[in-house]
């Protein structure tokens, strides 16, 4: 379960990602130990960003946005942002890849 501070961080991050990606932003999903209730002091805040028609520049801009949010919160926690093209995400889900299935089924879509 996310703490109040983590919720604020995620809200700020989603706002910045939306500003950058606009209509290309399909989904923001928070996953891993901070969501599933077993984080330790060094656990990252893991976030998957599903994007329509992803390209290298957009990915770089989204990663920079995550860095800026970490900067605003003194890098606590670290944000591990994974940018995934929506077609690839769907294909990997269809093939049953465990990482993508776990993110889709157990993550929190914002």
Residues 83-93 pLDDT 10s: 999 999 999 99
Give kind and range of the element (H or E) at residue 30: strand 25-31
Contacts 24+ apart (CB under 8 A), 35-38: 35/1, 35/2, 35/106, 35/107, 35/108, 36/106, 37/1
Tokens standing for residue 79: 């944000």
User: Which domains, and CATH codes, for the chain?
Assistant: 4-109 (3.30.460.10)
Beta-carbon contacts of residue 21 (< 8 Å; ≥ 6 apart):
49, 51, 58, 62
73: left (phi over 0), alpha (psi -120 to 50) or beta: alpha
pLDDT category of residue 1 using cuts at 50, 70 and 90: confident
Cis peptide before 72 (omega within 30 of 0): no
Beta-sheet pairing, 79-85 with 45-51: parallel
Percentage of residues in the chain having pLDDT higher than 90: 83
pTM of the predicted model, to two decimals? 0.92
Q: Across the chain, what does the average pLDDT equal?
A: 94
């Amino acid at each position: 379960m996310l703490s109040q501070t983590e919720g604020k961080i995620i809200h700020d991050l989603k706002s910045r990602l939306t500003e950058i990606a606009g209509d290309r932003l399909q989904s923001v999903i928070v996953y891993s130990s901070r969501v599933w209730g077993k984080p330790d002091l060094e656990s990252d805040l893991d976030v998957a960003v599903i994007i329509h028609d992803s390209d290298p520049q957009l990915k770089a801009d989204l990663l920079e946005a995550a860095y800026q949010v970490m900067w605003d919160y003194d890098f606590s926690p670290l944000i591990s942002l994974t940018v995934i093209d929506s077609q690839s995400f769907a294909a990997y889900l269809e093939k049953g890849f465990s990482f993508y299935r776990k993110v889709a089924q157990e993550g929190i879509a914002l």
